[in-house]
A = this chain, B = another copy of it.
Amino acid sequence: MHKPLIRQNRFDASRQDADMLELGVCYYPEQWPREKWDEDARRMVELGLAWVRIGEFAWSKIEPQSGVLHWEWMDEAIEVLGNAGLKVILGTPTAAPPKWLVDRYPDILPVGENGVVRKFGARRHYCFSSRRYRVEAARITEMMVRRYGENPFVHAWQTDNEYGDHDTIHSYSDEAKLAFREWLAARYDTIEEMNRAWGTSFWSMHYNSFEEIDLPNNLVEEPTPTHLVDYYRFSSDQVKSFNKAQVDIIRAHSPGRPVTHNFMSQNTDFDHHKLGEDIDIASWDVYPMGGLINGRLSPETKARYLRVGDPDQPSFNHDLYRAVGRGRVWVMEQQPGPVNWAAHNQSPADGMVRLWTWLAYAHGVDMVSYFRWRQAPFAQEQFHAGLLLPNSEEDQGYVEVAQVAEEMKRLPKGEVKAKASIAILLDYESRFATRALPQGRGYVASAIALDWYSAVARLGVDVDFIGQHSDVEGYKLLLAPDLVIPDADFIARLKSSGAKALFGARSGSKTRDMHIPADLPPGPLGDLLDFRVARVESLPDFHRETVLYGNTSHQTTGWRETIRTTETVLATFEGDHRPGTPAVIGNDKARYCATLPRGEFLSKLMGDTLGWAGVEGLPDLGDLRIARRGNLHFAFNYGGVTATVPAADDATFLVGGRDLAPVDVAIWTQS
């Protein structure tokens, strides 16, 4: 069961002493000569760092051969770091099993969708379903936790590293096949119930037993979407149980230390809410430069934001992982300069490391740890900047962290992030659903959600994220850009709450079995808003639909639904095809948008929706972004020219001022 409530952001006095933003860094003593450790530790403290993460790729240093254990270097590293005054976050080293281990047990290795074994030589080369690997991961974790669980310098734990990186949630191994069969048997109890859910009366797909089930790869054509979504659910559950096993070991032997995992931003291959239940703090890894290159924006807009990044992608994820961590969120890896892994790897503008750090704090993050202390001159990430250059000189990031550390001293302590007035719903099963059955090539749910977030952020409104398990009471407005599979229970709670809601296209379009609802979409959403979706279209980019909204013609693309409703029609489709059919409908409680608004249409829709819900916004902020944490107001300038901060006349500036230069940050209080 999900824990139902999201605790709002608070400092945990047990380990986070400052009642204020704390800083940290990722460090790899195993990669550097022993003689550098002391100076490194000293310089970290000097820079103002409080935390240091180590160990998450150290298995082959700890156990270079089967049963031959070398803890002494780690003992010493923890000692050195701890004695210098740093709090150690210890990573379990399971993200990269050693070569001798995968050679001994080849069924540890994951299998790609093409059916080919993915070999050793990088990282994440394990299958979550490998029973052997679960035994081995528990063994190394338990040894480590028993050794360091009560070490006074060890203040927190990180499980594994970046679940899902390199597309490793989905494995097509024999081990995964066997586990999937068991998972299905547990879910459906009888094969006939599974046949019903999967719709195997179609295309003669009937199964006689769970032993006949195979994984959904290398088929002649797409499998039934329920087969796919169940495989995605199964894979997600495998990650959760794999992680939970480590958490249980840590909890058993390392009392009082919080457990975190460092998530990959916007990975939707597993249910982050569910995994978040089992940890104490969610952390995530902030790489806005690659995020821009790989992201949702047009090439022209990417060029404009090249060295500042998408202004909303980091904030979106801070807010999301604050929900995943049920109020507690850290940044475990903050990009300190150019990196190595994107198609192109530009430098952040000078000042962005500082900006991102304060942005994190403004969005509720309590600890920001930079990746990494010193750039490695070897191996895969040698082009990945650190706070120090490979020759230990200070790089730009170091300078900016020092500035942050100075600025921290000017701020009051104990400021906590308040609950926002609006919430965005991110439902992972809905993401599985549209991945399994996109219906049109242009439909990217994560980009749509970020577009919605961005439209709200430009109006200066703070946002929380929730899942369907969350309490919706207390919010004025719920935004649900892609709630494909609504829970009747959630809809009931929403209905009885004080929140209004705006739903995006496809919301309510599938049951949990990945069927169209019996009386057509929107299924349970019909309890909020009376309409039926009688036809859907996915549309190519070279075509534009015209929508008449507020006496203005707007254009949309990608998706259009024909709906019938008794509710108020707020916007209509125009043009040759079915002119006058509803594009946006609503009543006092809920609204629904039957297409994918972007640009001006989306901006206007969001502005109107905030007004409708009684949420106060600002005029469009352009390239400025603002956020609040407790009594502190923050402004961030992502634009190329000096902007004026929307501070009250009585504002007291603690950092920066009313005129905000590009890449600059202002922090103030006001009455």
Mark A residues whose CB is within 8 Å of B.
Answer: 28, 30-31, 57-61, 64-65, 93, 96-100, 103, 110, 112, 114-125, 165-166, 168, 198-208, 212, 214, 216-227, 293, 299-300, 302-303, 306-307, 337-338, 340, 343-347, 349-350, 375-383, 385, 389-391, 393, 395-396, 437, 439-442, 513-520, 534-540, 542-543, 560, 562, 576-578, 640, 662
Alpha-carbon distance between A538 and B224 when the two chains are bound, in angstroms: 42
Alpha-carbon distance between A58 and B202 when the two chains are bound, in angstroms: 8
Alpha-carbon distance between A553 and B203 when the two chains are bound, in angstroms: 54
Alpha-carbon distance between A381 and B517 when the two chains are bound, in angstroms: 15
27 residue pairs of the A-B complex, CB under 8 angstroms, read A30-B201, A93-B204, A99-B212, A119-B217, A119-B219, A121-B214, A121-B224, A122-B220, A122-B222, A123-B203, A124-B220, A125-B219, A200-B379, A203-B379, A225-B382, A302-B540, A302-B542, A303-B540, A344-B538, A345-B439, A349-B576, A377-B515, A378-B516, A382-B515, A382-B516, A383-B536, A385-B535
How far is the CB of A162 from the nearest CB of chain B, in Å?
11
Alpha-carbon distance between A391 and B540 when the two chains are bound, in angstroms: 28
Q: Which residues does chain B contribute within 8 Å of A377, judged by CB atoms?
A: 515-518
With A119-B220, A121-B219, A375-B516 already in contact, 15 other A-B pairs whose C-beta atoms are closer than 8 Å:
A31-B202, A93-B204, A99-B212, A120-B214, A121-B216, A121-B224, A198-B378, A199-B378, A199-B382, A200-B379, A203-B379, A343-B540, A345-B537, A377-B518, A389-B534
Which B residue sits closest to A68, measured CB to CB? Answer: B208
Question: Contacts A299-B542, A535-B395, A576-B662 given: A124-B202 contact, CB under 8 Å?
Answer: no
Question: Contacts A347-B535, A440-B343 given: A303-B543 contact, CB under 8 Å?
Answer: yes
How far is the CB of A33 from the nearest CB of chain B, in Å?
11
What 7 A-B pairs have minimum CB-CB distances, sorted nearest first? A199-B378, A202-B379, A199-B379, A96-B204, A122-B221, A377-B516, A60-B206
Question: Contacts A225-B380, A227-B121, A382-B516 given: A206-B347 contact, CB under 8 Å?
Answer: no
B543 near A124: Cβ-Cβ < 8 Å: no
B121 near A439: Cβ-Cβ < 8 Å: no
Q: Which residues does chain B contribute within 8 Å of A123, judged by CB atoms?
A: 203-204, 220-221
Q: How many copies does the complex hold?
A: 3
* Contact residue among B121, B206, B218, B562 (Cβ-Cβ distance under 8 Å from A61): B206
A577 near B121: Cβ-Cβ < 8 Å: no
Q: Which residues does chain B contribute within 8 Å of A344, judged by CB atoms?
A: 440-442, 538-540
Q: Which residues does chain B contribute within 8 Å of A168, judged by CB atoms?
A: 220
Alpha-carbon distance between A154 and B217 when the two chains are bound, in angstroms: 38
Question: Contacts A208-B65, A217-B119 given: A57-B203 contact, CB under 8 Å?
Answer: yes
Q: Which residues does chain B contribute within 8 Å of A207, judged by CB atoms?
A: 99
Question: Contacts A208-B65, A349-B577 given: A224-B59 contact, CB under 8 Å?
Answer: no
B110 near A537: Cβ-Cβ < 8 Å: no
Alpha-carbon distance between A216 and B202 when the two chains are bound, in angstroms: 34
B118 near A204: Cβ-Cβ < 8 Å: no
B226 near A378: Cβ-Cβ < 8 Å: yes
Which B residue sits closest to A378, measured CB to CB? Answer: B199
Question: Contacts A28-B201, A119-B214, A535-B347 given: A306-B543 contact, CB under 8 Å?
Answer: yes
B537 near A60: Cβ-Cβ < 8 Å: no
Among A30, A124, A221, A514: residue with most chain B CB under 10 A: A221
How far is the CB of A294 from the nearest CB of chain B, in Å?
11
How far is the CB of A360 from the nearest CB of chain B, in Å?
23
B208 near A99: Cβ-Cβ < 8 Å: yes
* Contact residue among B61, B221, B539 (Cβ-Cβ distance under 8 Å from A124): B221
* Contact residue among B99, B118, B166 (Cβ-Cβ distance under 8 Å from A218): B118
* Contact residue among B60, B198, B200, B578 (Cβ-Cβ distance under 8 Å from A60): B200
